[in-house]
Copies of this chain bind each other. A is one copy, B any other.
Amino acid sequence: SVWISGALAQTDPLPSWNDGANKQAIVEFVEAVTSEGGADFVAPGERIATFDNDGTLWVEHPMYTQLAFAFDRVKALAPDHPEWKTTQPYQAVLENDMEALGKAGEKGLMEILAVTHASMSTAEFEKTVTDWIATARHPKFDKPYTELVYQPMLELLAYLRANDFKTFIVSGGGIEFMRPWTESVYGIPTEQVVGSSIVTEYKVVDGVPTLMRTPKIAFVDDKAGKPVGILTHIGKRPLAAFGNSDGDYQMLQYTTAGSGKRLGMFVHHDDADREYAYDRDTHFGSLNKGLDDAPKEGWHIISMKDDWKQIFPE
């Protein structure tokens, strides 16, 4: 609307973004889809934007935050499991032995996830996550993880919502691991969080209706799973999608294959001074094919170093 455009012209909605092609692409995209009567106008109810979480909205190095949570939980539960001191993969976690943990492989990791994430009610899990996230601190920045979110992306979320977008998280992370804090940190309510999940069963336990978390994987919201998660939870093709790794490749592909104006962007971690620098060769958030194909697909590569004035909120 005229009023909003006028207000935006006066107060930059993206103050932590340096002027340049990427900031311009965002603003042009938003103006195109919100200009009534324009060729690319989209009705408010259809304005959907999806965001990966790890590495796109918050820090994912030196390891995914959910993994740090799982390791901390193993340590917290260890006094009740003396056998873990000499049993892998637990011993590796207790001794911070990443090499031994690597040897335990995916099977070892699934065992740790089962022990720390399942066989409890969703209410218990929510409390565990809420307590942990309130106290845990990042090893490099020595700050709560919820403060290690990207200020430019917070501004982007707010800018899109101010233009009647519904913003969704579409993450490979556990849906119930994110929901306890996404509303207060990102302004994204639980019903707009899409993630990986385990099979949960409803039963009445001692007279109390309870949702019990089982150790069985229900859905993996990564790679080709992301468009499926978007279908399941949203039922509309997004207008814009933001990611940082090849896990987001299909989400960007599905999004930008839609008709009319679309926007696909990768956050590129190229800022070793202020955050981390990694892309093709990393265990957490590797970006290979996305980097190769971005030019021909019309996807934008956001340089943390060049595009962002500021990384974290102050």
Contact = CB atoms under 8 A, between A and B. Distances in A.
Interface stretch (A22-30, A72-80, A188-196, A268-276): A188-196
A257 B183 CA distance: 24
A257 B201 CA distance: 17
18 contacts: A45-B189, A48-B191, A175-B235, A176-B235, A179-B235, A190-B236, A191-B192, A191-B235, A201-B224, A202-B224, A202-B226, A202-B227, A208-B257, A209-B227, A209-B250, A209-B253, A209-B257, A211-B227
Contact of A200 (B45, B209, B231): B231
Contacts of A202: 224-228, 250, 254
Nearest to A231: B211
A232 B197 contact: yes
A123 to B, nearest CB: 10
A211 B235 contact: no
Interface residues of A, number: 37
A234 B201 contact: no
A122 interface: yes
A228 B200 contact: yes
Contacts of A253: 204, 209
A261 interface: no
A260 to B, nearest CB: 15
